[in-house]
């Protein structure tokens, strides 16, 4: 994969971001896939748009999307694209801006590159040699926005500087639904962390990659498409990430679920471990949504 190929994918995502935003601002159709799992025309359009682009330009690559029927054909591919066209569809339906498109690329199961893009806010997270963040203005499919991505991709994110002594509580993002269910009701969570609830695990991972927050904890299952794009942006020099009840992440698996998640700046993850043993934390993980 060449740099120009990754930049072409940025263009595709900018274009589909305009379509997602236009649908978001309209009275769009909603369908329930079952189990209070909504899907909208934006999910379906973005999934098909990117599938067609990727299939045409990278015909030897596999593809996994939440909104397309999965097949075993991807399992023996060296390169596989993993997409959630809208992570946080329930927030999208509520006209809440806590959602994001998540696209990850794995090579032999290892996440190597990705994009997290929130069309409602213009926040774009991706990587070139390093992960980067850009704040874009709609409409997104413009040369000005593309040039912004090229310029920002050449810079190193300053928010990742984590060497200064901490004077404030680490910012911990958790799921809105997990917070409502009382999974973070133990006093130490709010006493030792600045605890915030937010929709979309992909969006949270993007914010983490840019250093805007310190740590994410989830105590529920995650599918590969939820987390692949964001995990690919977390380099091992600055971050630690792992599922709470499984082996270390290996993507493009036949079973796409993992259980629980901790992802954060190294200092924040070490701080969390000083507050609760990770084995004890893993016992709190739910196996169903």
Residues facing residue 33 across a β-bridge:
none
In the block, tokens 């097949």 appear at 71
Helix then strand then coil, in percent of the chain rounded to 5, is: 35, 25, 35
192 assigned binding-site residue? no
Residues facing residue 101 across a β-bridge:
117
How far apart (Å, rounded) are the C-alpha atoms in residues 246 and 196? 25
How far apart (Å, rounded) are the C-alpha atoms in residues 86 and 90? 10
17 and 101 in contact (C-beta within 8 Å)? yes
110 assigned binding-site residue? no
Q: What are phi and psi of 184, to 5 degrees?
A: -120, 35
In the block, tokens 């799921």 appear at 175
Helical (H) or strand (E) element with 204: helix 201-209
Q: What are phi and psi of 272, to 5 degrees?
A: -60, -45
277 assigned binding-site residue? no
Residue 269 in tokens = 């993850």
Q: What are phi and psi of 39, to 5 degrees?
A: -135, 145
Binding site residue list: 66, 84, 86-87, 226
Binding site residue list for Mg(2+): 66, 84, 86-87, 226
């Amino acid at each position: 994969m060449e740099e120009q190929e990754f930049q072409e994918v940025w263009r595709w995502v900018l274009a589909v971001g305009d379509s997602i935003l236009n649908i978001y601002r309209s009275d769009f159709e909603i369908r329930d896939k079952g189990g209070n799992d909504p899907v909208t025309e934006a999910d379906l359009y973005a999934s098909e748009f990117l599938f067609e682009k990727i299939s045409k330009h990278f015909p030897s690559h596999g593809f996994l999307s939440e909104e397309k029927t999965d097949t075993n054909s991807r399992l023996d591919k060296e390169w596989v694209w993993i997409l959630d066209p809208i992570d946080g569809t329930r927030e999208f339906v509520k006209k809440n801006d806590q959602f994001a498109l998540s696209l990850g690329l794995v090579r032999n199961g290892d996440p190597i590159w990705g994009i997290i893009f929130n069309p409602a806010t213009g926040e774009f997270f991706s990587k070139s040699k390093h992960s980067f963040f850009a704040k874009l203005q709609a409409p997104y499919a413009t040369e000005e926005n593309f040039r912004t991505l090229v310029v920002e991709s050449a810079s190193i994110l300053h928010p990742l500087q984590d060497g200064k002594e901490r004077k404030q509580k680490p910012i911990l993002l958790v799921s809105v639904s997990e917070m409502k269910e009382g999974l973070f009701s133990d006093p130490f969570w709010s006493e030792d962390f600045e605890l915030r609830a937010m929709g979309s695990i992909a969006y949270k991972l993007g914010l983490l990659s840019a250093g805007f927050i310190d740590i994410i904890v989830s105590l529920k299952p995650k599918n590969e498409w939820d987390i692949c794009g964001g995990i690919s942006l977390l380099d091992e020099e600055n971050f630690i990430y792992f599922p709470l009840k499984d082996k270390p992440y290996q993507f493009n698996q036949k079973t796409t679920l993992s259980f629980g998640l901790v992802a954060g700046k190294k200092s924040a993850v070490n701080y969390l471990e000083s507050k609760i043993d990770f084995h004890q934390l893993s016992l709190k993980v739910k196996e169903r949504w």
